[in-house]
Amino acid sequence: MERRRFEDRRKIGTVKAAVNIYGERILDGNNSSLKKPQEDFPEPSSKARELHLARRDMSRYKESRKAAESAKVKAESELYSARKTVKDLASMIEESNFKAKARMRDIESLRKKGNQEEKALGLETVESYQYGEVMKELESLKQELSKLKLDMASIKEEKARAEKDFEDSSLKLWSNSSTAEELRKQIEAANEEHVLVELARIEALKEAAEIEAQREKESGEFSFSMEETSKKMKDMNEEIDQSKDLEHKLAVTLSDVNLLQNQLMQVKQGLNQPAEGEGSASLELITEELEAAKKELDLIREESFQYMSSMDIIRNELKHVMEETARLKKIEDKADSKVQSLNSKLLRAKSKLEAVTEAEEKANAIAANLSITLEQLKAEVEVSKKEKALITDDTAAIKAEIKKTESEIDSTEEKLQTAVQELEEVKASEALTLEKLRALIETTMQARASASNQSSSITISKFEYEYLTGRAVGAEEIADKKVAAAQAWIEALKASEREALMKTEMAQRELREMRVEEEHEVYRTERSLSAKKMIERELRNWRHGQEKNVEAQNRQSPYRKRSMKTSGNLTPLGRAKFRRSASPGIKPSGSTPFIIKKKKKVMPNLAKIFSSKKVDKDV
């Protein structure tokens, strides 16, 4: 018996040591997975908030990238239009130079033929008209050049703004990638803690199975010993009944002996008197009966002494049996208390393991989502890097083209200035020639007036006639070209207005889409905050319910002890049956009804909350 007690103490000590070791690992190890679902639950919500902010930054980055691309396309279109206008200006300058050269040739030819008055008058009118047109074209070219300079400055500003937005988005992307790395490290730490918890759970289940086997073995031995003691008690009761019968017989024989002794005394008194023949015969009979009664009395006394000694032995055995039963009751009470404590510990460990598994499932879901988002972020980072390289190449090409266009604009401005100077020189020479021509015209007019007085017709040379008709045809062609150019310019203005209207419509549409997306984001954030509040409320209720259950168990523990003390008055067989029926098993099928009820109370609401979260994510 002492050896069995020592083995029980040693096994219970190993179980306590294992529970303490794994309890310290679970509870003290960096406030790991047992405290995480209860105390550190807001940490996944903060991670989800950071992930939401990262997604919002990525959407903003995409929008800024789209805006930069649209600005780039716009700048390219404006650059193309600027190049086209520069080419048009260059062609117009070349045409004006060609016209100026042609006019110089005409002026020189007119100088050689200064005697022809009508030719000089036609040249004066045509040259003055063409000179005014050239000056108007130069002014329009200057205005277009100023517009081009303003457009180039605005394009540069938009380009600088787009580059700044791209740098800001790249910095935000880098910070989001660093936060994702930190979250991955935290997930790996949580997985390690979960492995430790699983090992502790496996060890606890093994020890629980060993304790259950030992308890069943001890219960079998105790039931066998109780059956043997019950058999002994039955035999002792039978012997006690037999001893009672013998005592009754002894009392009857003692009464008979007393009667015989009385009769013997009477006979002795009769012997002292003179006896007759019949008295002597009766005396002999009485003496024989007395001797036989004495022999029977001696036998009965011997048997009574034997029965008394057997009764003493039975009493000693009964005392020993009572002491053994009391000791077994104490051992049984201790075993029941140990079993109850182990059952309570197992229930607590199961509840903690369930909480840990739930937290682990949540952490795994969060880790899966984070890994997916991290992969998406990496892919987007690579795409953004490639796009950044392309944008840098495009910006370098645009810068080179801008420099080229600026140099072309400078060269065209220089050409325009030289052309203006040449035109001023031509104008001065034309003024001199005009003064000379006016003098000649006055003389010719006077001569023709005197000639017209004599005849009604004016004679001109063939050269003058061809020159005037050719100039008239050229003037008509120039007028037609200018009308066609004006119509093309009007159509280009209308097309630019249409493009501007389309761009404004696209911008308004994008603004509407951005507003809708912002409203969706606000709605999602509100739903996530409400879901977080509901989860925290459910967790508070669950903790409160656990505290109430623990208090109820602590209150019920003394009542259990009292009920066990009061049940000591029962018979051993009945008490053993009651203990077998009342002691909860350690098997998983029969020891978890209370925990399943708690899960039924708490888990449906959590399932609803997480389903609503998934619906929000899908939306």
pLDDT at 33: 39
Q: How far apart are CA 204 and CA 58, in angstroms?
A: 47
pLDDT at 138: 66
pLDDT at 370: 72
Q: Tokens 């509407």 belong to which residue?
A: 512
- Residues 560, 341 contacting (CB under 8 angstroms): no
Q: Tokens 């529970």 belong to which residue?
A: 19
Write the DSSP assignment of 223-280 as a string of letters: HHHHHHHHHHHHHHHHHHHHHHHHHHHHHHHHHHHHHHHHHHHHHHHHHHSPP-HHHH
Q: How far apart are CA 463 and CA 456, in angstroms?
A: 22
Q: How far apart are CA 23 and CA 34, in angstroms?
A: 10
Region of residue 31 (left: phi > 0; alpha: psi -120 to 50; beta: else): left
> Which two structure tokens, joined as six digits, stand for 55?
């997604």
CA distances, 512 to each of 388, 502, 509, 519 (Å): 28, 15, 5, 10
- Residues 60, 165 contacting (CB under 8 angstroms): no
The Cβ of residue 102 has, within 10 Å, a number of other Cβ atoms equal to: 11
For residue 260, give every residue at least 6 positions away whose Cβ sits within 8 Å of its Cβ, in sequence order, or none. Answer: 289, 290, 293
The Cβ of residue 122 has, within 10 Å, a number of other Cβ atoms equal to: 16
Q: State the 10-residue block means of pLDDT for the chain, 619 residues long.
A: 48 43 42 39 52 67 70 70 68 67 64 51 54 68 71 72 73 73 76 78 81 80 78 78 77 77 73 54 74 79 78 81 83 82 80 78 76 76 77 76 75 74 76 77 72 62 67 71 72 72 76 76 73 75 78 62 44 40 39 38 44 44
Choose among 134, 69, 143: nearest CA to 430: 134
Q: How far apart are CA 601 and CA 560, in angstroms?
A: 27
Q: How far apart are CA 178 and CA 184, in angstroms?
A: 10
pLDDT at 316: 85
Amino acid type, 347:
L
Amino acid type, 333:
D
Structural element, H or E, at residue 175: helix 117-272
The full set of domain ranges for the chain reads 2-451, 477-619
pLDDT at 135: 67
Which 3-state string (H, E, C) describes 336-373? HHHHHHHHHHHHHHHHHHHHHHHHHHHHHHHHHHHHHH
